Structure 1
Amino acid sequence: MHQFKELEIWKRSRQFCSEIYETTSYFPDNEKFGLTNQLGRASISISSNIAEGSSRKSNKDFSRFLEIAIGSCYEIETQLLIASDLNFLTISQSDKLINELSEITKMISKFKSILKI
């Protein structure tokens, strides 16, 4: 088992979740149950799957949860691009979030690759 609170991927994804919530608080009210909700849920999913996977007894199980976290990263990237298309985000806001997300995705992938399965 891994101590998820000590994992940099968990810390960064948790911080990223806060950034998503801060950013989406400025989305139009009619998006409360649309992109705002989807982005919030997907961003929570990253750190949550890292935490849940870390409790598993095998690295193979943990690896599966990391795959799910990566899937959530790709989901968020798509949603951020759509939010940008709809002018809910500026290009610089979108780029900043997508760059941070890309770093998190790479970190999770690298961590997953070093797990002994």
Structure 2
Amino acid sequence: MTEITYTKKDVAVKLQNRLDLNLYVAEEMVDGLFSVLRELLMEETAEKVRIEIRNFGVFEVKPTQAKPMARNPRTNEVVHVPPRRKTHFKPGKILKEYLKTPLDSHG
């Protein structure tokens, strides 16, 4: 199994090629988009946050419940885990259909 890791710079280069932009402009656009998404997901005025991007997917921040009887697997010590918030991504229809296809048919 092979693994590919893409960086923000890779996204900017892809955007630069698609829109025929200067690389600096493409990097500013990508950085700006990710900054705005991060700020929205870190919004503290709401318990739940949802960013819906049609034909891509949904980013959500959801609260978790406290776990008063959690166990540290390394020491077997019982610890209390306070409630917190976690992120979740649900792929959109196009991506979900692609992910359903068997691995050997991806090419």
Give the TM-score range, shorter chain: 0.3 to 0.5
TM-score, normalised by the number of residues in structure 1: 0.32
Question: Which has more strand, going by share of residues?
Answer: 2
Structure with the greater alpha carbon radius of gyration:
2
Q: Quick one: higher RCO (CA 8 Å, sep 6+), 1 or 2? A: 1
